[in-house]
Amino acid sequence: MTDDSGRNLDKMEELKQRRERILQMGGTKAIEERRKKGQMSARERVEHFFDPGTFTEIGMHIRHRTTAFGMDRREVPAEGVITGFGKVDGRNVVVAAEDFTAMAGTFGEYHGKKFVRAVDFAKENGWPFVSMNDSGGARLQEGMDTLESYGWLFRSQILASGIIPQIALLMGPCLGGQAYHPVMQDFLIQTRHTGFMGIAGPAFVKTQTGEEISLEDLSGYKAHAVKSGQTHIVAEDDADCLDRCRELLSFLPSNNRDKAPRISTDDDPERQEDLMSLMPQHPHQPFDMYDVISRIVDNGRFFETMGLHARNIITGFGRFSGRTVGVVATQPKWMGGCIDIDAADKGARFVRFCDLFGIPLITLHDSPGYLIGSQQDWGGILRHGAKLLFAWADATVPLIGVILRKSYAGAHYGMLDKAIGADFVYAWPTARITIVGAETAASVIFAREIREAGQPEEVRAQRIQEDSDTYENPYCAAERGYVDDVIDPADTRKTINRALDALEGKTVARPWRKYSNINL
């Protein structure tokens, strides 16, 4: 009995030592170096993210099996990635947090297997998945085993897409093959000074192409939040990144069968706001759509996504009477609210996400149409613009459109109308709903008359005014049932809330198919 007791104590001591060694990650010095750069360690990030005392780690003792290049003597604590689950605001969430202090958080075979296990576990349980990306890239010492692991992860993420929300936090370097899996998730939050992502780093780019470029210019937040549109949210530092992720999760359901949390609010759902005062007298003079959004959502709180990219269209989450909604709005202050290639891509992907997770959608529309010109045509504006049409027509969630001013040409459908699938469409008295603006229409319809007139400019002005009086108003559309009501702008919040109440139990039955063949 004494011998058995002693052996058991030895086993417990061995467990304690193993756990302590793994929990030290890359060691005190490596962790301190991270802190000097303003970064938390991987375990500090996990601790900050989850509700206190709720995190349970999975796979702490996993170890690589590689022997080549001295790897048989190399211990990588937790294989460079911490995986597990815990609660965020009382709801279960699964995490994979890469540890840069452990062999630079490099992605090898078992690092990848831990990631895959975490994604699969999240999908099976119907819990959101969050990755905290901070890695030196592929672990080249493991050769083909590393390459194959990426494929396992990509497939797991894709099969989980549309079932659970997936959020990537870009908190350190993420280059090469490592950069694919964050952009394949639903949302990507990048830290302003320490998050870097790219298909290759500056040294490799110079070797292969001769181009000299800094890491910041090639892979920093401006490259992806502004130019490429691959980053949805820019955070100031690690703590802000984690807090923004928690806030984003608060708008989302845990999976595609749950509803998004509905919170209590003291903001009167029938509250009126003076919105007409925001509208300029001239119909082509810009105004700031953010002012409209902030005045109609609960407590003025709007969580924007991709705010620095394709700024002619606004996407993000707000609440109406405590329920989550997705907001898609054109921005007259940017390119006049025209929809270009990037705006179409941005809007369509957001619409599809909301539809996948049962989140109602509201549009606020003031747009003269899709952007025209050779660069847009050659870049595929027709193909990209059609993505919005696919997204709206496919959507089965409550769809509510509000037309504030211009609703012309393809943008009429691209920003949600009755024909493409809206449940309700409302217009302000300032709305101009027609196929093209009066100036364009008159120049085509009355081209010969204007050309042959003794005073062409007077005739032109007369015909423009005639066309505008006839068609540039909300009442032609309302008379035909294309607009459900012309409302006082002050009643916009009330009208949306009542429509959402009416659509609470919306169900749609359609013929079986796998999915629509959207133009990519």
| Chain length of the chain | 520
Q: Which domains can be identified in the chain, with CATH numbers? A: 39-251 (3.90.226.10), 276-437+472-502 (3.90.226.10)
Contact 352, 394 (CB under 8 A): yes
3-state secondary structure of 343: helix
Strands (E), 182-293: 187-191, 196-198, 233-235
Is 441 a known active-site residue?
no
Q: CB neighbours of 256 closer than 8 A, spacing ≥ 6?
A: 162, 163, 164, 356, 357, 358
Is 177 a known active-site residue?
yes
Q: What is the pLDDT of residues 128-186, one digit of tens each?
A: 999 999 988 888 888 888 889 899 999 999 999 999 999 999 999 988 878 888 999 99
pTM of the complete model: 0.93
Question: Residue 459: enclosing H or E segment and its boundaries?
Answer: helix 456-471
Looking at 176, 220, 369, 385, which residue is catalytic? 176
Distance CA 249, CA 261 (A): 10
Query: Phi and psi of 402, rounded to 5°?
Result: -125, 120
Looking at 177, 229, 336, 379, which residue is catalytic? 177
Q: What pLDDT shows up at residue 418?
A: 95
Contact 142, 110 (CB under 8 A): no
Is 401 a known active-site residue?
no
Distance CA 87, CA 53 (A): 9
Q: What pLDDT shows up at residue 442?
A: 65
pLDDT at 452 exceeding the cut of 70: no
Pairing of strands 81-88, 56-58: antiparallel
Report the largest interatomic distance among the alpha carbons of the chain, rounded to a whole angstrom.
117
Q: What pLDDT shows up at residue 213?
A: 92
Q: What pLDDT shows up at residue 441?
A: 66
Transcribe 103-118 into DSSP letters.
GGG-B-HHHHHHHHHH
Q: What pLDDT shows up at residue 1?
A: 47
Confidence of residue 103 (pLDDT cuts 50, 70, 90): confident
Average pLDDT rounded to a whole number, residues 378-387:
92
Hey, how many other C-beta atoms are within 10 angstroms of the C-beta on 354?
A: 25
Distance CA 101, CA 389 (A): 47
Hey, how many other C-beta atoms are within 10 angstroms of the C-beta on 296?
A: 24
Percent of the chain with pLDDT over 70: 97
Q: What pLDDT shows up at residue 8?
A: 80
Is 176 a known active-site residue?
yes
Looking at 318, 326, 410, 414, which residue is catalytic? 410
Give the residue from 120, 201, 114 showing the smallest Cα distance to 149: 114
pLDDT at 87 exceeding the cut of 90: yes
Pairing of strands 432-434, 424-427: unpaired
pLDDT at 44 exceeding the cut of 90: yes
Looking at 411, 442, 478, 499, which residue is catalytic? 411
Average pLDDT rounded to a whole number, residues 361-369:
95
